[in-house]
Structure formats: structure tokens, C-alpha cells
Structure 1
Amino acid sequence: MALVALPTISSRAVDHEGFVVSQNHGAPEYHWIRIRGVDAATGSTANAVLQVAPSLEALLTGPGSSSGGFGAAAASGALGAVMARLRSAPSLDCFMSDLQEVLERLSYATSAGPGLADSRPGGAAAAAAAGPASAGASSRLVGLLLADLDALGWGCLEDLDQDAARLSLRLRDGCGRDHQLRLALPPDYPASPPAAATDLPLPLAFAWAPPAPPSAPGAQYPQHPHQRGAGAGGAGAGGGGGGDGCSCSSLVDVYRAFEQAVQRCQLLWECLDDIDRAARVLDPPPTVSAARRHLGPPARRLALGGAASLQLRLDPADPRGPPPLQGGGVAFLGPPEQVEGPRAAFFDRLHLWTRDRSPVENLELLLGKPLPPPAAAGAAAGEAGGCGSQQGGCQVPGDSHAVEAAAECPICLMHLLPVGDGGAAAAEEADDVDMAGDEAGDGAGGVGLVPDVECPTPACGLAFHTPCLAEWLRSVPDTRVSFNKLFGRCPFCSNPITVRA
């Protein structure tokens, strides 16, 4: 793609002429193009005029249209839309970039029809008969897809397959969280609905009302309402169900339903963020960035002091309400003697849970004591008191629980594994010493190994002590040993993990 500025009689405008490239079954095709009337001072294309070669006009207007004069094509059809985009583009470079991307999509669609027909039974005769119909269907599919992306804005497109059958759309909400909508278009789209998948805690549900099919071979599907009017189908208010009452007939409608679903989850994520700020969260671990903490199930594992912890899952439809008691909504983890008291207090006072208070305030009321603060807050308090320094490469924390929760090994439930420890079995003895020294705030001495092996799966990301993980993998029959390394599966997510033997 290259354009050359041409001299003109008027000094106020510049003409550009060159070639754009498309692919025809893998072979490049060059199409002549001229853009006249670009403002010489500002580079504005508001009054520009587009002239193209007949081959480019035929590619833009589709296989069922004629390659007549430029004036008739610009008045209606795809070439007229290209002219409108030229005059609304912020610059000539932006327009040429958009045009080249459109040509790539159209090239893939044009080559898909004959390619698919060649593989069908019946040989060349069947391919010749099915080729035009298949190419026309692909052209209509790409035409609808391009119209939807024009209405939504190309900035939301994250990924698009070559066959235009699968695409990913991105949405950033008002709090800066990124969300992804993955769509798969069936071969008979839009007669059949697209398959949608999201990262939301609730499924994206919508009713599909396909647009009226074209009445003639060369006719196109009706223009979407979102293309005729601006701002239609905006995001809805929070609360409510999963969008069952939303009727969709285009990808624009599905994206609007996705926006409404994201808006309904805002209260849930606000409650989870409040828990992350006010309590010591063990899972997801602190190593998970704030931009990804909304992904995954709406659950948090909270430290309660010592080796006790609380697994709490909020109801996505009612996040400020009582947690669901079925399906693992509330689970107390740890030694029985440490969790028996908090569990009894929680369920005895569960009737006091109200939606007027935040989940953290409700938990503190039910447990009868404040939750341990985040590890970062505890570490800051220790530094202010003259603790929390490092001596000789060993950590001497000001708050042993804060450091422990910062990266707790899920196998031994400790942060610092005493030096010379033989694994998780010996860690239980060290844990008993740690529990005995908690009253004086001595911890386990503050010297030892920290979790240094992290699960490579992003959705898990748990960190383990090397001795603990090695001992665990040795006890699993399907673990393989090669070159002083153990190859097994993560104890929590069951995905592959490797550790020194």
C-alpha cells in the first residue's frame, strides 16, 4: 500500500495516487486508487473524492453487483460507505489503514467460497455450482460483520480469525477492568445465533431474533437499528437477572447485552475489592494483579489468624446478601481446634447479616472480632515500629502473620519454611512451634525458605516451597522424573508443574 502526492493547479488541495493490495487465493492483486481534494494545510479529508479501479470497486461492492460507473456506486452500496469513511477519517493515514484492513477481510471471505466448494463431493461440477452461492454467503457474512464493527467502533475488536467465524471483543468498564466477549458465528449466521462466552461470573443469556432474510439473490440483510440511530441499546442499570429478556438480532445487540451484564456485576466486584482492601486475602494470592482479580469465581479465602482461614463465596446476583450456604459458599479451613470457635460464632449470628453493611463489616460482626488486616498494611506497621528489616539475607518480619499471608505455601500453610526442613511433614512440627509462640509475637523465628515455585497456570498462580511440592509430587504415582526434575500436576488446578527433585 503506497500513495504518492501529485501536483495540482490549486495550492489548497493535494491529490494522492497509488495502489492497494488484496489477496486472491494467496496471490497478491494490486488495485489503483486516487484520492483528490485533501486539504494541503490541515490534511483534512472532509471534502476528498475517491476514485478506484474497477477491480477494487467489484471487490468492495460484492460478487452480486455490477462494476458500473463511480458516480452510481458512490451514491449507494459499499463504495459509498467507503467514501463516507474517507470524509469522516481524522487523517489520510487512518483511512488507508482502515481500507487495507477491510480489503484483508474481504479477501479472506472471497477466497473461502471456492476453497470450501473444492473439498465437497462431486468434483469440479459441484464446485462450480456451489462456488458462487458459497462466496455470496461469505460476502454477506463479512458485510454484516463489517457493519457491526463500524457501529461498535473498531477499537473494541481484539481478535478476528481469518475465516471471520470467530472473534473477540473487548470492553473496559468505568473502573478500568477489561472484559472479553468471545463469539463464534455459525455457518448460517444470522439465521442462527452466535455462540457467546465471557469471563463474567454469570452466563450471558439473550434471545435471538434473526433479521429478515434477503428477498432477492443480490439483496442484502436489513440495516441494523444501531446503524440508523446513535446511542440505541445503552447499558442498563445494575441488579436483576442474566439478561433473559434481551432480544438480539446482530452482534451490536449482543455486545449491548454484554455491556448490561458487565454493569450488573459492578456491585459484586465492588464488594470483592472492599474485601481485598480491608482483609488479609490468601486466595487469590497477592501476586495476582488488581487488573485480573475480578476474573474467576466470586470467592475469597480470608485469613482468620493462626492456621485458620475462611473460604467465602458471594452470590453474584446478590453480593451484599448472605453468602449461599449450599455449594461451598462458606467453608472454615484449618485445624479443628482453631476453626471450631469462629464457625460456631458465624452460624449462630448468621441471622444478623444485613445488606446495609458491607461483607467485611458483616463478617466482623458475625465472628465477633476484626479480621486481620492486609499483609501490606501489617508490614507497613512493622516498618513504622522499627521492624520488618532484612539481616544477612534472612527476613525478620515485624508481623509474622502478615509475611506468612503474603505468600503462604498451600501445602504446609506456612510462609517461612525453617532452614534444613525436610518437607511438609516436618513443617507440621514447626507450625506447632509457631502456634505456641504466637502469643508473644515471636513467630517461627523469622528465618527460612519462602515459596519459590509458582504454578505456571495464570488462573492458579499459587506459590509452593520447593521441598513441599517435591514431597507432594513424589507421592503421586503418575509423576515423572527426568534430569533431576519432577514433572507432575499442580495439587490445586491439576495443570502441569515442574520442580527440582
Structure 2
Amino acid sequence: MTKRGLLRADIATECAGQIRCRELANSSSFCRKLYSEIEDVGWERLVRLGDNLTFLSFRILDASERVHVMEVQVDQTYPQCPPSISGDVPYIPKIEWSATSRLKDAVIQFKKHVDSLEDFWSTLDDIDNSLWVVDPKFPCRAMCHRLVNIGNDCIVMLSISAQNPKTVPECRFMGPDSSISPLRKAWSRNCKKWMPEKPFRDNLVCIFGFELPKGPDTEKDEQQVECGICYAQHLPIEDELGTKSGCATDYQCDNANCSRAFHSLCIIDWLRSITTTRQSFDVLFGSCPYCSEPIAVKINNTRS
């Protein structure tokens, strides 16, 4: 290679090195900023942090201590570009953002939005607890509808307004024409009797004119519940997992307002990554990553 060629190669190498140094410096600055802002929000509220720090999720408690998860997506231009927000809510609020905004500002706004939906979730909880809900079997907080068995082979699909949950819901009847025809007439005739302050079930009984059946007291199929850490229903099928290979979630938080399910392997690995976790013999003692309530998980023979 000629001297000119060597010189060009050296210049190219130097330029590439300078570019790489700038990228590393920017990346380091980005990481420091994110860590600082997570500190402002509170590490105890952090549920998940992506390897490249562009994905985060935080635990949010509403006024009734229901557990919600706020997911945040950022890129390397943050905070010039606002974060993308998602969560288990019926609709996503518009996040006010400026050049001086921080993650904590987005969390505060999301928390206010969650609190504004208190009546919505209370109404859905009332439906789930007092009526025979056939679908969804495992509702998330973002869902606005319920399919309710009202007897005589009839189903009513109720759509609850997130903004006005105590008003008369939209409904659609499903079943034999001979059975649903009088139900439609009763709804049309009596829906004006709906009283927002009354329990949901009582309003339906008033409209239809008969008692509604309660659902069978069956346990939920745990195999259909996603793990709160890996977000999968089943563990991968791998020899190194032993008898746990392909298993469904097998551990659940005891807090009734949380009841989050986990694979025991996932929650054990998560607890071991937390410095405040204590171990006594074959039991790990720590806090649920969603509601912070105390949990205890056995660790013996988890992969045998």
C-alpha cells in the first residue's frame, strides 16, 4: 500500500474511533440520565428494565390499591422526544411533555389518569363479583366489556363507559330469539329506571324483573395466566429446566388486590437479583415486584 493509501486508512480509522467514542459518551450520558430519573420515581416501583434501557415498566397503585403497570418506551433522543406510554387502562392519556420534563412527570400524570378511572374499575369489579361473567375469563384492567350469563341460555354483552361507568351500559343480547325478545323489550321499557348509586346487579334485576344467576365458584385455570416477570404462560421446553420445563405459572402473590402469577423459577431469579432479599434455609423472603407485599418462595429442587 502506498503512503497516501496508508494515510487514508489511518484517517478513516481515526474517524471511526472518534465516532465510536462519541457514541459511547452519548450512551453513557443516556444511561446516567435514565438511572437518575428512575431514582426519582423510586427503584421499588420499577418492575422491568430492558437491557438497552429503552424499555421500562413501573408499578402504579390506584386509590383502592389495585396494581397497574405503566410501560415506558424511550429512544436515544430522550428527553428531547417524549416517551411512549402504554398500560392496562381503557385509553392512554395524553402526556404533557417539555424539554425539562422527567420520567417522574410522566408517572405522576399516569397515576392521575389511573385515579380518574376509579369508578370504572369499581363498576367492573362489582360486575365480576356479583354476576356470572363468562367472558373474559381473565380480564385485564383495559377491558370495557363483559359477557354475562343471565339464564335461560341467554347472554348479555355489557359495554361500560370508561368516562361514565355508572350510567346505563350499552348492551347486546345473544341467545334464542324466543328468549331474548322479551329481554330486549324489558330493557327498552325499563332502562330509564337505572340508578347510578345502586349496585350494578340490582339495576339489572330492576330492569329485567327477575333474579340473575351467580356464576359457579370455579377456580381459574392457572395455565392460562401469564407470568408477571417473563410475560409467558409457560416456561420454555429445555432440558436444563428439568421438571419445570414447559411448566405454567405456579406461584401467586397472596395480596388479593394483586394476585399476580409467576413461574417460581422467574420469581426466584428476580428475588436473587434484589439486594434486600433474605434467605432462610430453602426459602427466599422479599417483596412482590408488583405490589411490594412480603412474599416467601421455596427454592429447593426448582430445576429437578
For residue 191 of structure 1, report the CA deviation from its aligned partner: 0.5
For residue 123 of structure 1, report the CA deviation from its aligned partner: 5.4
Corresponding position: 1:178 with 2:24: no
Give the 5 Å matches for 1:280-359. Answer: 280-285=132-137, 288=138, 293-323=139-169, 329-359=170-200
How many angstroms apart in 2 are the aligned matches of 1:251 and 1:345? 51
SS at 1:309's partner residue?
Answer: strand
How many angstroms apart in 1 are the aligned matches of 2:224 and 2:215? 25
Work out whether residues 190 and 250 of structure 1, in 8 Å CA contact, stay in contact via their aligned partners in 2: yes
For residue 373 of structure 1, report the CA deviation from its aligned partner: 2.5
Give the 5 Å matches for 1:12-411. Answer: 124-211=13-100, 249-285=101-137, 288=138, 293-323=139-169, 329-376=170-217
How many angstroms apart in 2 are the aligned matches of 1:166 and 1:264? 25
How many angstroms apart in 2 are the aligned matches of 1:455 and 1:333? 29
Over residues 182-235 of structure 1, what are the superposed CA-to-partner deviations in whole Å (9 max), with x where a residue is unaligned? Answer: 111122111000111111112132121112xxxxxxxxxxxxxxxxxxxxxxxx
Over residues 79-98 of structure 1, what are the superposed CA-to-partner deviations in whole Å (9 max), with x where a residue is unaligned? Answer: xxxxxxxxxxxxxxxxxxxx
CA RMSD of aligned residues (A): 2.4
* Bigger mean CA offset, 253-262 vs 354-363: 354-363
1:463 corresponds in structure 2 to none
The amino acid that maps onto 2:207 is L
Work out whether residues 280 and 303 of structure 1, in 8 Å CA contact, stay in contact via their aligned partners in 2: yes
Change (3 A) 1:124 1:170: farther
1:57 corresponds in structure 2 to none
For residue 374 of structure 1, report the CA deviation from its aligned partner: 3.4
The amino acid that maps onto 2:21 is P
The two structures have a TM-score, normalised by structure 2, of: 0.64
Change (3 A) 1:123 1:338: farther
1:467 corresponds in structure 2 to none
Work out whether residues 320 and 358 of structure 1, in 8 Å CA contact, stay in contact via their aligned partners in 2: no
The amino acid that maps onto 2:134 is L
> Where does the alignment leave 5 or more consecutive residues of structure 2 unmatched?
1-10, 227-304
How many angstroms apart in 1 are the aligned matches of 2:13 and 2:113? 48
For residue 259 of structure 1, report the CA deviation from its aligned partner: 0.9
For residue 257 of structure 1, report the CA deviation from its aligned partner: 1.1
SS at 1:168's partner residue?
Answer: strand
How many angstroms apart in 2 are the aligned matches of 1:158 and 1:143? 19
Larger Rg: 1
Change (3 A) 1:270 1:294: farther
Work out whether residues 198 and 204 of structure 1, in 8 Å CA contact, stay in contact via their aligned partners in 2: no
How many angstroms apart in 1 are the aligned matches of 2:204 and 2:21? 66
SS at 1:349's partner residue?
Answer: helix
Change (3 A) 1:255 1:282: same
The amino acid that maps onto 2:108 is R
Work out whether residues 276 and 374 of structure 1, in 8 Å CA contact, stay in contact via their aligned partners in 2: no
